[in-house]
Structure 1
Amino acid sequence: MKLIIQMPCFNEAETLEIALTALPREVEGFDSVEWLIIDDGSTDATIEVAKRCGVDHVVQHMGNKGLAVAFMTGIENCLKQGADVIINTDADNQYDASNIPDLVKPILKKKSEMVIGARPISTIEHFSPAKKFLQKLGSWVVRGASKTNIPDAPSGFRAISKSAAQKLMVFSEYTYTLETIIQAGQKDISICSVPVNVNDDLRPSRLVKSIPSYIQRSIFTIIRIFVIYRPFRFFLTIGSSLMLVGFLISVRYMYFYLFESGNGHVQSLILSAILIMMGFQTILVSFLADLLSANRKLLEDVRVKINQIIHKRED
């Protein structure tokens, strides 16, 4: 059994050595533990620090492509290196590496294929109230979209089995955390959560450059999640809402027409007709989006089968 611990990095020379020093070289249940660094176009000494600390595998991007792309690059290369279990953690030493045995335990016991480390959000001092609220909101949305029960969906500290890793495909360019959990719910990947500790903050978050920016990106990410993974419900809700508003406006028009002669309320009738037509068209779009979603799932299944064949040949 091989465990590979991956770290996406972008200009992490100042914190990388601290994070790597904390990583284990032996974990119960595994014959070997290897480290893999994904350098996402760093312009500092990230690679030099990684090699000096004895990292087994270094993968480089030609330019900064973002955290989500770096995560998937790491997953693909871990599979190529024969990983049976993959640990993803941050290069800023946010997560306590001593919890790694706790993360892999459900996978080793065949109780789960993906394990998310749940941070004590409410007690983390360097998290602002707004960030804590958004963390909880994001987790709530993911639970609703994925039908899972993960308390800390934005956590990047997670263990992934080989079978689960082969099924993952992240579309977002911003972050992978929410989308991979929803995929787990969609693809029947068993998933659970274990409590983990966090270390002191070494640097400001790269994802949260400002609260307004984080809110904007989080909203777009959540909307995109629903469009991709719940397209029928998403467009049906919009279409039904438009038709309901149009119907209520038409009722208002009929009231004035029957009881108060209706003079001067033709605009309401026009608006009602427009909203009802828009709602009907949006509902039609929901059926088309559902068909496209089914086609995407079939293509993803084909991709998984091809990856499994490739990895068997490499083994």
Structure 2
Amino acid sequence: MKAMDAKHPQADEPEQHSTACKPFQLFVVVPAYNEESSIAAVISGLRSIADTIGGLGGSLHILLVNDGSKDRTVAEAEKAGVDGLVSHRINQGLGAAVRTGINEAIARGADIVVKFDADLQHDPTDIPALISPILEDRADLVYGHRHNRIAYRMPLIRRLGNKFFNALMGFLTKQEVTDGQPGIIALGAAYLSKFHIPGNYNYSQQILLDAYFNGMRFTQVDVSFRPRTTGQSFISLRYPIIAISQILIILAMFAPMRIFGRFGLICTLIGGVLFIIQIAMYFLGITDKPVTNVNLVFGLVMLGMQSLSFGIIAELIRQQKRP
């Protein structure tokens, strides 16, 4: 199957059934920062699907990542019977907490990892459907799609931000992304063996790009999404700037020439064309200077050459690091 194919193949039902019966270790990673009022209910809800997961051949493990909470999040989680706990001494950001949790799950022998929010916005009963494409060997990465079953109307700024990042992720991964910022995602063993996200903030875009550039198959599954009643969202006005900067880091790691090389060529080409046009206008007597917009032309050419040089150097480094 083509990497990152969002379509579901239908041809091999007998093989899908046998795949789902194989024993597997499912780790649900729950990052939390000051979620004392909701964490016990989250753990209890996740525990309620243990029998369903067992019926699929899996064993359920709930792993809390305490991202420097200053309240009773840890105490409430332990009281609720969480299976595992990892703590950051200080708050490092959601991306860092997700990375810590996934790496810890991998170290504990996870075959599938589900990232799940600690704010009660997601429904644990969606998890079996979320991991089904992985169990049936139809996908390596599954994102929850919230917009068909959302229980409230998102604020306009959030809706516009989602549309922008969905379009950006679709452009970068060459396939349709209907919800690129969900709080519930599932990662299969193939992707877990290659997993790496460098940034401490927007984990969802980083994981999607990381999976794409590692040749993983991607799909989305409808999930429920409830309004937040406790805690505070990590989304702020800084989000677009930080998110885009971390997306650029991923692109520099995996496809430097595709982005920076093309951008450099375009800038250099535009600067060169402007230079030729303005020189021609000077010789035709239309202008009294050889180059009217010196700063613009020089700036475009320099920006283009620097971007192209960066792309070439980054690509050489990437090629040297390949096995």
- What band does the TM-score fall into relative to the shorter chain? 0.7 to 0.9
- Partners of 1:111 and 1:122 lie apart in 2 by 23
- Matched with 2:258 is 233
Structure 2: distance between partners of 1:109 and 1:162: 13
- What amino acid sits opposite 2:35 in the alignment? E
1:189 Cα deviation from its structure 2 partner: 1.7
Q: How many angstroms apart in 2 are the aligned matches of 1:72 and 1:208?
A: 18
Deviation (angstroms), 1:57:
0.7
Alpha carbons of structure 1 residues 55 and 294: separation in structure 2 relative to 1, 3 Å: same
| Structure 1 residue 8 corresponds to structure 2 residue 31 | yes
Between structures 1 and 2, the one with greater helix share: 1
Distance 2:246 2:174 in 1: 18
What letter corresponds to residue 81 of structure 1 in structure 2?
R
Q: Does 2:141 align with 1:118?
A: no
Q: Which residue pairs with 1:35 in the alignment?
A: 62
Contact 1:145/1:226 (8 A) holds in 2: no
Match among 248, 264, 270 for residue 289 of structure 2: 264
CA RMSD of aligned residues (A): 2.4
Match of 2:21 in 1: none
SS at match of 2:179: coil
**Distance apart, 1:118 and its partner CA:** 0.8
After TM superposition, the structure 1 = structure 2 runs for residues 70-149 of structure 1, keeping only pairs within 5 Å, are 70-120=97-147, 125-149=152-176
Consecutive unaligned residues of structure 1, counting only runs of 5 or more, are 302-315
Q: 1:153 corresponds to which residue?
A: 180
2:211 maps to 184
Gap change, CA 1:257 and 1:192, over 3 Å in 2: same
1:167 aligns with 2:190: no
Answer with 276-285 or 161-170: which moved more. Answer: 276-285
What residue ranges of structure 2 are gaps of 5+ in the alignment?
Answer: 1-23
The residue type paired with residue 37 of structure 2 is E
Cα distance, 1:254–1:116 mapped onto 2, change above 3 Å = same
User: Judging changes above 3 Å, is the alpha-carbon distance between structure 1 residues 29 and 239 closer, same or farther for their aligned structure 2 residues?
Assistant: same
With over 3 angstroms needed to count, the CA separation of the structure-2 counterparts of 1:123 and 1:46, relative to structure 1, is closer
CA distance in 2, matches of 1:129, 1:258: 53
Of residues 33-42 and 276-285 in structure 1, the stretch that sits farther from structure 2 once superposed is: 276-285
CA contact (8 A) 1:15 1:202 kept: no
Equivalent residue pairs, number: 296
Is 2:244 the partner of 1:219? yes
Instruction: Tell me which moved more, 3-12 or 243-252.
Output: 243-252
Shift of 1:266: 4.6
For the 8 Å contact 1:239–1:281, the answer to whether it is kept is: yes
> 1:148, 1:191 within 8 Å by CA — same for their partners in 2?
no
When structure 1 is superposed on structure 2, of 82-91 and 275-284 the one drifting more is 275-284
Secondary structure at 2:37 match in 1: helix
Q: Of the two structures, which has the highest relative contact order with CA contacts closer than 8 Å and spacing of 6 or more?
A: 2
Shift of 1:39: 0.8
Alpha-carbon separation, structure 2, partners of 1:104 and 1:273: 53
**Is contact 2:42–2:119 with CA below 8 Å preserved after alignment?**
yes
Between the aligned partners of 1:281 and 1:80, the Cα distance in structure 2 is: 41
Are 1:287 and 2:317 an aligned pair?
A: no
Check the 8 A contact 2:139/2:217 in 1, yes or no: yes
Superposed CA offset, 1:218-238 (max 9, x none): 333444443333311222233
Counterpart Cα distance in 2 of 1:25 and 1:75: 20
Aligned-partner SS, 1:252: helix
Q: Percent identity, please.
A: 24
Aligned partner (choices 240, 248, 270) of residue 245 of structure 1: 270
Amino acid at match of 1:282: S
Report the CA distance shift for 1:130/1:124 in structure 2 as closer, same or farther (over 3 A): farther
Q: Which residue of 2 aligns with 1:20?
A: 43
Range that drifts further, 225-234 or 96-105? 225-234
Which stretch has the larger CA shift, 79-88 or 246-255?
Answer: 246-255
SS in structure 2 at match of 1:75: helix
User: Post-superposition shift, 1:204?
Assistant: 5.8
Q: Secondary structure at the match of 1:6?
A: strand
Residues 20, 233 of structure 1: alpha-carbon distance in 2 compared, 3 angstrom cutoff:
same
Please report the TM-score for the alignment, with normalisation by the length of structure 1: 0.85
User: What SS is found at the alignment partner of 1:79?
Assistant: helix
